[in-house]
Amino acid sequence: MIFDRFRKIDNSLRRTRDTFFGKIAGVFQRGSIDEDLWDDLEELLIQADVGVETTDKLLQTLRTRVRKENIREPARLYSALKEELRAMVSKGQGDGLLPAKGLGVVMVVGVNGVGKTTTIAKLARFWSGEGEGRKVMLVAADTFRAAAIDQLKVWGERVGLPVIAHQPGADPGAVVFDALAAAKARGMNLVVIDTAGRLHTKVNLMEEMKKIKRIVEKQGPEVVTTLLVLDATTGQNALSQAKQFRDAVEVDGLVVAKLDGTAKGGVIFAIADQLGLPIYFVGTGEKLDDIAEFDSERFVDSLLSQPES
């Protein structure tokens, strides 16, 4: 299973590894550390969607290390770059996503179009599979779109899991209340809630999310976790969405979808650096099994798996 997870991460990073981060590896093939090296590194990091703010911070840290550690060889600087990137995506890494026993609830949030419902199906498949073996129930709390309810029902059938849903236009809080009652009655130990995905700038949507969370917490589950799904292909816009969701609904962690669909996987570093939220999963393809637990060390090693000399 561990090997399979690493293979998925490696494969999903092929596009970004073969473009910008492959070029970054080439920067360190020169004979000395000079201003041209720094300029080229800065340009490539920004092109790879690491972002201006995070790139500046990273380069300042590396320049400081060059002075303090008397780094002279580009190969050593390349190793230092890897170390700093690993540290960056390790920030906020936590366990405790699901309880060891008792009922766990995961609220999944994100704007329309990021692959939220598909990601829910992948997560449900993962959590209910052989490795985790949890009894999972899905909840269609995005009642504003009939298509969202129908889509979750279809995914529920595909993964063989029950879906609690009301009619379109129903009160999302009522759906969630009924779902938790049903989960307890059926002996479920994990409830995954699909929430409305209208634009993150809508204040009423955020108030609705808070209401749903209050209803969930009143039912006394062991753990309530809010996961935000971001689309890696949207680059810095994903970071903007993450900031606004975090401020409005107390996001606990992230799922980065469509990582295989972008050549600019560097946005993960910007997200980790500026939000300090743990990245729990990454989407690695279009199939139901194409999701992997995020491993910061493996991610960086795979991304920068070019020879250092």
Q: Give domain status of residue 72, yes or no.
A: no
Q: Is residue 263, in this structure, part of any structural domain at all?
A: no
pLDDT of residue 160: 94
- Domain count of the fold of the chain: 1
Query: Domain containing 114 — which CATH number?
Result: 3.40.50.300
Quick one: pLDDT band at residue 3, thresholds 50, 70, 90?
very low
23 located within any domain: no
- Domain of 117? 104-251
Instruction: Report yes or no on 27 lying in a domain.
Output: no
Does 47 map to a domain? no
Note the pLDDT tens digit of each residue in 8-29. 666 666 766 666 777 888 899 8
Question: Percentage of the chain with pLDDT > 70?
Answer: 87
Q: How high is the pLDDT of residue 81?
A: 96
Instruction: Judge whether 192 and 161 are in contact, CB under 8 Å.
Output: no
pLDDT of residue 2: 47
Specify if 185 maps to a domain.
yes
pLDDT band at 57 (very low <50, low <70, confident <90, very high): very high
69 within a domain of the structure (yes/no) = no
Residue 104 has a pLDDT of: 94
The pLDDT tens digits for 124-176 are: 999 998 768 899 999 999 988 888 999 999 999 999 999 999 999 999 999 99
In the chain, DSSP assigns E strands to 104-109, 136-140, 163-164, 190-194, 223-231, 253-257, 279-283, 291-293
Whose tokens are 């002279």? That residue is 72
Is residue 194 included in any domain, yes or no?
Answer: yes
